[in-house]
Copies of this chain bind each other. A is one copy, B any other.
Amino acid sequence: MIDSGTALFRSGDPATSLFAVRQGMVKTVHLTADGHERIIGFHVPGEVIGIEAFSSDTYRCEAIAVEHSVCCELPLPQQSETLQVQGLLPAIVDLLGTAAIPKPPIARGLARERVLRFLQDHGERLRRRGLNGERLRLTMSRSDIANFLDTRVETVSRILQQLHREKAIHVQGSTVELIELPPIDTAAS
């Protein structure tokens, strides 16, 4: 149970646990050399973060709650033999393997495509966890979304309004309902 803005772990911390998000939302972030945030992803209930703990002795990014959240710490036994004895390795291979599946990047192409892909992906991930994927609670700030999509707050706001006017979505503050997302036809070659 952590407050908005609190870190589950920071880049460089000794990595000894996984964390499962149970409620709320957690963002993972890289800090650039000159101290700027680059948001890697937003994690919804059911997702596990900190899996670099398996191959690195320190965490490689920051995990920060975006709203009041509940997380579950899963300490790792130090000896990999212990895992083997417990028969957990296949499960771990599955967890890591799933994370290693190459995914098409969200933040590519026109700003509108990025926002659409973001909404689609977010809904998808909720659905996969058995949650409602049509009524999204985007509890992260607009500027977090902009950062993630490599664009600007104003642009995110304008595009959400535009989609709202087109009746593709219904925006009300942090709540966004997906009515009928238009196809994402990548304009470029």
Chain A interface extent, by class: 35 or more
CB distance from A15 to the nearest CB of B (A): 10
Assess whether B52 is in contact with A102, with CB atoms less than 8 Å apart. Answer: yes
Q: In the docked arrangement, what's the CA distance between A106 and B40, Å?
A: 12
Known: A89-B89, A108-B38, A108-B107. A33 touches B102 (CB 8 A): no
Which residues of the other chain, B, contact A118 by a CB distance below 8 angstroms? none
Which residues of the other chain, B, contact A60 by a CB distance below 8 angstroms? 101-102
Q: In the docked arrangement, what's the CA distance between A53 and B185, Å?
A: 29
Assess whether A34 is in contact with B185, with CB atoms less than 8 Å apart. Answer: yes
Which residues of the other chain, B, contact A138 by a CB distance below 8 angstroms? none
Assess whether A100 is in contact with B52, with CB atoms less than 8 Å apart. Answer: yes
A132 close to B (CB within 8 Å) = no
Q: In the docked arrangement, what's the CA distance between A98 and B52, Å?
A: 7
Assess whether A55 is in contact with B94, with CB atoms less than 8 Å apart. Answer: yes
CB distance from A98 to the nearest CB of B (A): 5
A184 close to B (CB within 8 Å) = yes
The contact string, 1 if C-beta is below 8 Å from chain B, for chain A 160-189, is 000000000000000000000001111011
Q: In the docked arrangement, what's the CA distance between A32 and B92, Å?
A: 30
Q: In the docked arrangement, what's the CA distance between A117 and B154, Å?
A: 27
Assess whether B97 is in contact with A38, with CB atoms less than 8 Å apart. Answer: no
Assess whether A93 is in contact with B100, with CB atoms less than 8 Å apart. Answer: no
Which residues of the other chain, B, contact A108 by a CB distance below 8 angstroms? 38, 107, 150
